[in-house]
Structure 1
């Protein structure tokens, strides 16, 4: 098995989490980092803070190549995969440049800010005969991974639908969060997790209708009904921002199968987290509580990196991390915005 040599571009919170994940993956190794920040290029990552995982540390980078620009990193012929942990508005340009330099690309979500950007990235990957994979980590978190396994097993029959929730308090610390040309707003930056999951589990809807409220050019909060050819398939989602800071984050799922319901709900409150762990409610009135491990959120990123490695080693593009799937998630987010603005259903 050949070692996949990784150039990690962008040493912020997500770059730090990816770095930690690579340390646990045997067949991929970060051999180079890229950052405009001179302090980061010395391995001093102690100012990195995030909403999960450990804080940044002083990292030994004595065996790594360091680059101040993406152009210099891309010129390194030894790099097989470029991991882009850059601000969203830079994803498209950086990914295309990496692909044209002959590298495979693993880019953090959102893939791009528009469907057109995503289409450009997919086309560039095809032209270069390289893969563009997108860091939609949600399916690898234990609750969501177990749900995928239960559904795929067919044990409880076919999917009947589900409801998905993802809400944050106003992220005032994220500059340009509501700028559609830089971060994308609550749907493109936050709800895209669930849009991706819905697309993966249920396929692409024929139409959708969203009701919500706007903040400038982006949706602040909305609830959406995704409509499929089968009218008995009921899929909904609620996502966005509330303007009270007492609950910085919550997400949940309820998935309906013919003979079972999967339920999970987590809220991160300012006075402590509250979780209703994943349960499987069966047709014979059992409440099954699967053992999902210790809940370390960084482990999901380790599994995700493992899927990136598998995709590159086999040449079979991941059905979870593919650029085509991530592109559809961005399209759904923009269709939801269109529906809120129009006050009507829209065709997908």
Structure 2
């Protein structure tokens, strides 16, 4: 197997290392690239070398797969350099802070012998996948609307997240998951109505879609202490409804895997019957890297 590199060693870098280990590739992690390398600081990557020079990864032909888990302002330059070197790049969302920079990355991917995948991990949560399967089966009929909510206390694990010039703000860094889901279900957005009371919300966004569907996103990134990270999604169709809800035991999104959920369940009510299911365990980050590896 070709080698793996992980760029960035914050929370997401560690999450990707654990995901690669979950996918059976722990020993293939060759480099952890971070400004302040510390040997052994990612225990699951026991064979990794800790470096600070990105060029080492770019120039190592043995490295084929790279997780980019750095702050958003660095995404464009890192991704473009890796793609130019023919690497397969798993780039944490959002792609970039501006549409122009995102297009630069997309153009680099189009010219590369490598591949680019943006890490929208919510797509790999079992509950979200279950609702997608139900919708695609036709059980709900034609989708009329999708409503998504996402709440968390103010994040404390990375100070740059609170700086809109660095993270893009709540809607770009946090609500992006919900916009991604709405677009997957409803298609091309044509009109947006939005109101936001402060940079951390709450924000209410209603979106009209080309096919006639309506989506709504509700976001809040400054919930009271003790309120756990929570996300929900509701699908309303001509033949039924579907709902998924996740609520972490911990108050942070970053701990939000199905293995520590306070609530993790989905249900469907339709003309074909009713289904309610609790999800006991989940490994969305692991499934994400497996998908990336298989598609690269």
Give the deviation of 1:150 after TM superposition.
0.8
Write out per-residue CA displacement over residues 44-91 of structure 1, whole angstroms, 9 at most, x where no aligned residue: 24xxxxxxxxxxxx4463x33432221222221211122111111111
1: CA distance between counterparts of 2:45 and 2:29? 12
Q: In structure 2, what is the equivalent of residue 214 of structure 1?
A: 198
Give the deviation of 1:295 after TM superposition.
2.5
2: CA distance between counterparts of 1:243 and 1:89? 26
- 1:84, 1:91 within 8 Å by CA — same for their partners in 2? yes
| Shift in CA distance, 174/7, structure 1 to aligned 2, threshold 3 Å | closer
Q: Secondary structure at the match of 1:23?
A: helix
Q: Secondary structure at the match of 2:226?
A: coil
Give the deviation of 1:305 after TM superposition.
1.0
| Shift in CA distance, 4/196, structure 1 to aligned 2, threshold 3 Å | farther
- 1:92, 1:121 within 8 Å by CA — same for their partners in 2? yes
| Shift in CA distance, 111/281, structure 1 to aligned 2, threshold 3 Å | same
2: CA distance between counterparts of 1:220 and 1:243? 9
Q: Number of residues paired by the alignment?
A: 287
2: CA distance between counterparts of 1:262 and 1:149? 11
Q: TM-score, normalised by structure 2?
A: 0.88
Residue in structure 2 matching 1:5, options 3, 6, 10:
3
Q: In structure 1, what is the equivalent of residue 14 of structure 2?
A: 16
Q: How large is the RMSD of aligned CA atoms in angstroms?
A: 2.4
- 1:67, 1:73 within 8 Å by CA — same for their partners in 2? no
Q: For 1:133-282, what aligned pairs fall within 5 Å after superposition?
A: 133-215=117-199, 220-231=201-212, 233-268=213-248, 274-275=262-263, 277-282=265-270
Give the deviation of 1:310 after TM superposition.
2.1
Q: Secondary structure at the match of 2:219?
A: strand
2: CA distance between counterparts of 1:75 and 1:26? 25
Q: Secondary structure at the match of 2:164?
A: coil
Give the deviation of 1:8 after TM superposition.
1.2
Write out per-residue CA displacement over residues 280-335 of structure 1, whole angstroms, 9 at most, x where no aligned residue: 11236x4311364x223xx11111111111211xxxxxxxxxxxxxxxxxxxxxxx
- 1:161, 1:257 within 8 Å by CA — same for their partners in 2? yes
Unpaired runs of 5+ residues, structure 1, are 46-57, 313-348
- 1:102, 1:130 within 8 Å by CA — same for their partners in 2? yes
Q: In structure 2, what is the equivalent of residue 36 of structure 1?
A: 35
Unpaired runs of 5+ residues, structure 2, are 252-259
1: CA distance between counterparts of 2:264 and 2:87? 42
Q: In structure 2, what is the equivalent of residue 69 of structure 1?
A: 53
2: CA distance between counterparts of 1:94 and 1:74? 10
2: CA distance between counterparts of 1:30 and 1:258? 48
1: CA distance between counterparts of 2:238 and 2:231? 24
| Shift in CA distance, 173/140, structure 1 to aligned 2, threshold 3 Å | closer
Q: Mean Cα displacement is larger for which, 178-187 or 203-212?
A: 178-187
Q: Secondary structure at the match of 1:145?
A: helix
Q: TM-score, normalised by structure 1?
A: 0.75
Write out per-residue CA displacement over residues 176-208 of structure 1, whole angstroms, 9 at most, x where no aligned residue: 323232112111110001111111221121111
Q: Secondary structure at the match of 1:290?
A: strand
